[in-house]
């Protein structure tokens, strides 16, 4: 189960805003918000990019995206 609050908290902690993250993902910021709000899902490539940008451990990834 995706936990958007944990993703948002990590973004705030690292001072990464939605515009920056959407640029790195190669998607529109509106699309990013749809994914964060659960209207669509992140694909595998996007998850890998998020992991790298936010420097997420395997435990972090599990807690945020797969708990």
SS3 content of the chain, % helix, strand, coil (to 5): 65, 0, 35
Average pLDDT over residues 41-67: 97
Whole-number pLDDT of residue 10:
97
Structure confidence at residue 23 as a pLDDT band (50, 70, 90): very high
Name the residue range of residue 8's domain: 4-66
What digits encode the pLDDT tens for the residues 41-50?
999 999 999 9
- What's phi and psi for 21, nearest 5 deg? -65, -45
Asked if the model's pLDDT at residue 28 lies above 90, the reply is yes
Residue by residue, DSSP assigns 1-64 as: ---HHHHHHHHHHTT--HHHHHHHHTS-HHHHHHHHTTSS---HHHHHHHHHHTT--HHHHIII
Whole-number pLDDT of residue 67:
81
| Number of separate domains in the chain | 1
CATH code for the domain in which residue 20 is found:
1.10.260
């Amino acid at each position: 189960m995706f936990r958007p609050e944990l993703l948002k908290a990590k973004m705030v902690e690292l001072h990464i805003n939605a515009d920056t993250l959407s640029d790195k993902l190669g998607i529109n910021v509106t699309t990013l918000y749809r994914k964060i709000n659960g209207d669509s899902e992140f694909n595998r490539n996007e998850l890998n990019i998020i992991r790298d940008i936010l420097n997420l451990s395997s435990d972090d990834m599990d807690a945020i995206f797969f708990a």
